[in-house]
Amino acid sequence: MSDTISDGGSRSLIASDRVIGTDVRRPDGERVGRIERLMLDKASGRVAYAVMSFGGFLGLGGGYHTLPWSVLRFVPDFDAYVVDLSEDQLRDAPTRTPEGTDPAEDRDWEERVHRHYNAAPYWGV
**Residue spans of alpha helices (H) in the chain:** 16-19, 87-91, 107-116
Domain boundaries, the chain: 16-119
Q: Averaged in consecutive runs of 10 residues, what is the pLDDT profile of the chain (125 residues)?
A: 42 87 94 92 90 69 84 95 88 68 72 91 79
Task: Return the pLDDT at 43.
Answer: 87
Task: Return the pLDDT at 73.
Answer: 96
Q: Does domain 16-119 have CATH number 2.30.30.240?
A: yes
Task: Return the pLDDT at 1.
Answer: 33
Task: Return the pLDDT at 55.
Answer: 73
The answer to whether 63 touches 56, Cβ cutoff 8 Å, is yes
Task: Return the pLDDT at 6.
Answer: 37
What per-residue string of b and e applies to 56-70 under the rule 16 or more CB within 10 Å gives b? eeeeeeebbbbbbbb
Cα distance between residue 84 and residue 45, in whole Å: 25
